[in-house]
């Protein structure tokens, strides 16, 4: 297993194991007995092999008696974790593991759904509170954060009922019965488009506000509560100082230079970082274990620690210790995972390269253990996206024509374009509405994002010069510096028309086959309006019948298009795409 990948996985498992009591736990671990062999599964309840050499493709860990594997169509199939696994449900583009009898899935070309352990649909999540759903985070503590086509977040319960409306630009997954959220009125602040101050809001599971946390008060505000506490940091004299606050926003551990990072929190103890090493501290600020470990994870009543083995770069030695730093058993491992993640009775360790084992809390390997050449810690998808995309309806709604898009053309007066822009953005204030030329004297381009049939598209309109200008009285012109001085009395729109249109469709979370199909449809639309000059699999350049030049590009982020009469064709080279 790749070392960097292992460490990242360990961090994720460490957090999950401490943010949830994991009452269900992982009940089965997939393994191969030899390289390129079929996949088997061993139980973390009793250490016995559940089934052997059953699957050619990798399988996920078993949670609540269910596991998954991908078929030849790259779709998930769900199976029962028993001696002769039985397939349940259908085939899915996206799928999570089960939580309290519920899983989130997406069938091909359909919205996200909730299913039960028999594969029966509990609820289709096409719309929530009359808003189109584009994706849903995995369940956490019986709740799931969903995202709408407008890019806002809300929360549902395990039956798909809305408990928090989608009026937040970000909501972190449920932790300790709480959500850390950011109201959509702070959207520009959250996305880095506005430097003014804003607030994080702590909500309970019914959406009641528990407190607001001022963003400027802290350099860092965590997104997940552990044992009722949230990590925060400030910067003093150029140094990071970390501490903890409760759900009321009160400081329980005041930020101090002694604490340069916080990881696991459990009861009255937490793992802290100092000088790139980890130790253990209580809420009184007393050091229980000095920071000497490269990694430290709380694991029930004990801990799992790692120290640089000093043999090769990024080579570590893992052991299990008590709160005094004493080893629970005299063994060290090249790789190890917390007992807590697997339910507490057993855990998985690496004994040597391509040799894994299941051990109990005394460090003893289970009897009659099979050879475990490799293991797989995947549990499925963590974010489930809608696969419902009506591309034909989208193309009609977007309204691509030779002279423009979204109802705008090269001949549309600038005032109407600005009005359209203002309607689809939050430009303006009480003194100057978004249609006022006051805003546009230094702008040559307008950008807005609009949802077309559940797909967000950013549209750009470029102009040959500034959209508006100031009108001066008693004007004096400095010809040398080409500036003017005087009393500005008003602003007026310039008599200009658009020089080019662009749109950018973000499809980074959409399956590649749909991206390719949409790209082909867009290219076909432009081909109806002109002819292809140059193309490859990811870019096409057109000369259009109205004299415009157009380029369509497909990349890992999505699809973009630009067309206009003053576009220099020579500056485009499809080779780079």
Q: Looking at the structure, tell me whether residues 522 and 374 fall in a common domain.
A: no
Q: Is residue 482 part of a domain?
A: no
Integer Cα distance of 329 and 535 in angstroms: 65
Q: Looking at the structure, tell me whether residues 293 and 416 fall in a common domain.
A: no
Computed over every residue of the chain, the mean pLDDT equals 90
246 membership: H or E segment, kind and range: none
Q: Which domain does 513 fall in, by range?
A: 391-468+499-576
pLDDT at residue 565, rounded to an integer: 86
Question: What pLDDT band is residue 393 in, cutting at 50, 70 and 90?
Answer: confident
Integer Cα distance of 528 and 540 in angstroms: 14
3-state secondary structure 183-201: EHHHHHHHCCCCCCCCEEE
pLDDT at residue 205, rounded to an integer: 98
CB-based contact 291:324 (threshold 8 Å): no
pLDDT at residue 315, rounded to an integer: 72
Q: How many helices (H) and strands (E) does the chain have?
A: 5, 46
Tell me if residue 397 falls in helix, strand or coil: helix
Q: Looking at the structure, tell me whether residues 381 and 396 fall in a common domain.
A: no
Q: Is residue 268 part of a domain?
A: yes
Q: What is the pLDDT of residues 517-562, one digit of tens each?
A: 999 999 999 999 999 999 998 999 999 999 999 999 999 889 999 9
Q: Looking at the structure, tell me whether residues 325 and 462 fall in a common domain.
A: no
pLDDT at residue 571, rounded to an integer: 55
Give the count of domains, the chain: 2
Integer Cα distance of 508 and 500 in angstroms: 25
Tell me which of 351, 385, 419 is where a domain ends.
Answer: 385
Q: Is residue 490 part of a domain?
A: no
Q: Looking at the structure, tell me whether residues 237 and 378 fall in a common domain.
A: yes
Q: Looking at the structure, tell me whether residues 362 and 430 fall in a common domain.
A: no
Q: Looking at the structure, tell me whether residues 289 and 420 fall in a common domain.
A: no
Q: Is residue 223 part of a domain?
A: yes
Question: What pLDDT band is residue 456 in, cutting at 50, 70 and 90?
Answer: confident
Strand partners, 455: 452
Q: Looking at the structure, tell me whether residues 408 and 380 fall in a common domain.
A: no
CB-based contact 123:92 (threshold 8 Å): no
| Cβ atoms within 10 Å, residue 71 | 11
pLDDT higher than threshold 70 for residue 570: no
Tell me which of 342, 367, 385 is where a domain ends.
Answer: 385
CATH of the domain at 45: 2.140.10
Cα–Cα nearest to 128, from 98, 157, 170, 90: 157
Tell me which of 360, 385, 410 is where a domain ends.
Answer: 385
Angle of helix 391-398 relative to helix 512-528, nearest 10 degrees, comes to 40
Q: Looking at the structure, tell me whether residues 50 and 77 fall in a common domain.
A: yes
Q: Looking at the structure, tell me whether residues 286 and 235 fall in a common domain.
A: yes
Tell me if residue 238 falls in helix, strand or coil: coil
Q: Is residue 491 part of a domain?
A: no
CB-based contact 119:88 (threshold 8 Å): yes
């Amino acid at each position: 297993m790749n070392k960097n990948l292992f460490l990242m996985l360990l961090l994720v498992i460490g957090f999950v194991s401490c943010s949830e009591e994991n009452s269900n736990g992982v009940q089965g671990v997939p393994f191969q007995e030899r390289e390129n062999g079929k996949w088997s599964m061993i139980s973390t309840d009793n250490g016995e092999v559940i089934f052997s050499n059953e699957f050619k493709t990798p399988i996920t860990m078993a949670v609540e008696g269910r596991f998954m594997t991908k078929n030849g169509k790259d779709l998930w199939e769900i199976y029962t974790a028993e001696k002769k696994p039985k397939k349940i449900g259908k085939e899915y583009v996206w799928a999570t593991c089960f939580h309290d009898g519920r899983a989130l899935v997406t069938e091909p070309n359909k919205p996200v759904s909730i299913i039960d352990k028999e594969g029966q649909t509990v609820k289709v999540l096409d719309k929530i509170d009359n808003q189109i759903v584009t994706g849903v985070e995995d369940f956490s503590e019986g709740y799931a954060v969903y995202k709408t086509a407008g890019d806002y977040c809300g929360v549902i319960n395990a039956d798909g009922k809305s408990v928090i409306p989608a009026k937040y630009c970000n909501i972190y997954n449920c932790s300790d019965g709480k959500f850390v959220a950011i109201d959509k009125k702070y959207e520009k602040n959250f996305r880095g488009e506005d430097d003014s101050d804003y607030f994080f809001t702590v909500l309970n599971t019914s959406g009641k506000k528990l407190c607001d946390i001022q963003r400027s008060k802290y350099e860092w505000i965590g997104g997940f509560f552990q044992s009722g506490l949230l990590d925060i940091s400030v910067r003093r004299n150029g140094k990071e100082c970390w501490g903890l606050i409760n759900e009321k926003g009160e400081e329980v551990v005041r930020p101090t230079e002694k604490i340069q990072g916080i990881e696991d929190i459990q009861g009255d103890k937490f793992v802290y970082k100092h000088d790139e090493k980890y130790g253990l501290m209580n809420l009184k600020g007393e050091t229980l274990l000095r920071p000497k470990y490269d990694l430290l994870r709380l694991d029930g009543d004990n801990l799992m620690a790692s120290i640089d083995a000093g043999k090769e770069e990024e080579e570590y030695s893992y052991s299990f210790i008590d709160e005094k730093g004493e080893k629970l058993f005299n063994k060290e491992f090249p790789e190890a995972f917390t007992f807590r993640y697997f339910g507490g009775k057993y855990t998985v360790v690496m004994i040597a390269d391509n040799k894994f084992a299941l051990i109990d809390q005394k460090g003893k390997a289970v009897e009659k253990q099979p050879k475990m050449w490799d293991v797989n810690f995947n549990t499925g998808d963590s974010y489930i996206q809608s696969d419902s995309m009506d591309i034909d309806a989208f193309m009609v709604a977007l309204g691509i024509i030779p002279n423009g898009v979204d109802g705008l053309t090269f001949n549309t007066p600038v005032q109407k374009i600005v009005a359209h822009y203002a309607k689809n953005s939050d430009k303006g204030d009480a003194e100057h509405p978004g249609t006022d030329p006051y805003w546009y004297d230094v702008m040559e381009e307008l950008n807005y994002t609009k949802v077309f049939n559940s797909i967000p598209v950013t549209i750009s309109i470029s102009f040959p010069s500034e959209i508006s200008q100031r009108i001066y009285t008693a004007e004096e012109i400095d010809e040398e510096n080409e500036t003017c001085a005087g009393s500005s009395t008003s602003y007026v729109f310039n008599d200009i028309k658009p020089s080019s249109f662009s749109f950018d469709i973000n499809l980074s979370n959409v399956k590649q086959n749909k991206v390719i199909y949409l790209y082909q449809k867009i290219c076909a639309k432009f081909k109806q309006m002109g002819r292809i000059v140059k193309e490859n699999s990811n870019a096409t350049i057109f000369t259009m019948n109205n004299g415009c030049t157009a380029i369509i590009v497909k990349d890992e982020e999505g699809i973009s298009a630009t067309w206009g009469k003053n576009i220099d064709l020579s500056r485009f080279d499809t080779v780079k795409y």
